[in-house]
Amino acid sequence: MEANSRLKQHTRALTLVLGIAVLSGCGGGDNPSASTPAPQTDTTPVVPVVPAVPVPVTYTVGGTLSGLAAAASVVLQNNGVDALTLSANGAFKFSTAVTDLYAVTVGTQPTGQTCTVTHGSGTAAADVTDVSVDCVNNPPAAAQVSTLAGSGIMGYLDATGTAARFSQPAGMAVDALGNVFVADNANHRVRKITPSGVVTTIAGSGPGSVDATGTAASFRYLSGLAIDAAGNLYVADQMNHQIRKIDTSLAVTTFAGSTTFGSADGTGAAAGFREPFAICIDTAGNLYVADSANNMIRKITPAGVVTTVAGTTLYGHADGTGAAASFYTPSGIAVDSAGNVYVADMNNHMIRKITPAGVVTTLAGSTTLGRADGTGTAAQFYLPQGIAVDSDNNVYVSEKGNSTIRKITPAGVVTTIAGGLSNGSVDGDGPSATFWSPWSLAIDSARNLYAAELGNNIIRKIVLP
């Protein structure tokens, strides 16, 4: 028993010694000098998370340029900074795209022109392609006179420009395309001049009164022309005492009057005229006739009904209403957009105005002939024969006696815009140009005047300032 007890004590002691040895070898225990491995540190760099920025949507800005003159250039800007120089008409596009707002303006105008921008600003939601830049020529400082057609030698010849010949060209009318039609009085023909100056004969062949088509028809000293919105021409066939119509197929018919002169109102051939000299047409298609030898102003409805607006067969210079007024060889006639009729009262040396109610007043001039600019009756004319009115109701007058072209404002202020130094055929600016007995005037939609000259047998073009 005792032996077993001693054996157990030795076993416990040996176990304790071995345990201490193991702890000492493992660095265990509470020995402060024992080394402990350092904890490992993660050295991977931290990359910050940046939220994605969307790429902005951009749009191009462009459009179309038109009207730019040859050898000219215009500088456009978008939003005041993106400059684009253009030297040819057509499509254009700015180099810098936009995200939203755009505003196209003209940075530098072309020499001698003014360009305007339409559809030029807004907020882009797609590529912009509808910006429109339109350029027009600046008006000259003075009227510019040039020869459109005619050589200055009396004759008959279809040709181009100054190679063509006329014989006492009289009344004119201009269509929407800029073609000028001329009553070639002593040739008894209606001539056509294209904008490029090509002259052709569209109706008439010699003196007569035949209704037919084109050159198979005949006129006798035709002196006035008017054109309606459909392109039909109306002719004051002076010495046939008739108003003739030329439709767009060039068929010539008699619209009113007969070869027997008279002064009766009526319809068609039942009406009478005596040497109808000039004719014009209003927006409703009513014709007004300067019935020169009757000293009356006549109206013809589209149905051919003829009435007398003002005047009687007795000449005079009285203002008044209807038959209470009087004229002395009315030779030019024009109508404005309000239906007021203007008359070149040739042998009274006055310009008369007739309201739609038939009230006649004197717009400018007096029975004293002369050449003086001024207002109303203080101005003087000498045989005013042709007359035209523009869209602003300015009246233009050609004077056979003074060989000048005059302008009358709606307030009655008269100025000379071309001619007057002497008789001649000099082209140039207004004060330097010369005319010889300008017979009639016509005006186109661009406010260019045309003058038919009795003395020079030419057609002149006048670009107004």
Phi, psi dihedrals of residue 93, rounded to the nearest 5°: -155, 135
Quote the pLDDT of residue 35: 52
Phi, psi dihedrals of residue 114, rounded to the nearest 5°: -125, 125
Q: What is the pTM of this model?
A: 0.77
Is-contact 190 222, C-beta < 8 A? yes
Residue range 324-341, pLDDT digits in tens: 999 999 999 999 999 999
Cα(154)–Cα(187) distance, integer angstroms? 10
Q: Residue 444: what residue type?
A: D
* Domain boundaries defined on the chain: 61-137, 144-463
Residue range 11-36, pLDDT digits in tens: 454 444 444 333 344 344 444 444 55
Residue range 201-257, pLDDT digits in tens: 999 999 999 999 999 999 999 999 999 999 999 999 999 999 999 999 999 999 999
Chain length of the chain: 465
CATH code of 144-463, in short, is: 2.120.10.30
> Residues 437, 342, 380, 139: what is their CA dihedral angle, to the nearest 10 degrees?
-70
Cα(290)–Cα(273) distance, integer angstroms? 10
Q: How confident is the model at residue 181 (pLDDT cuts 50, 70, 90)?
A: very high
292-302 mean pLDDT: 99
Q: Strands across the sheet with 101-108, in order?
A: 82-86, 74-78, 101-108, 121-123
Name which of 271, 367, 266 is nearest 315 in CA terms: 367
Residues near 85 by Cβ (< 8 Å), separated by ≥ 6? 73, 74, 75, 76
Cα(355)–Cα(338) distance, integer angstroms? 9
Phi, psi dihedrals of residue 252, rounded to the nearest 5°: -100, 130
Query: 446: which DSSP letter?
Result: T
Cα(294)–Cα(277) distance, integer angstroms? 10
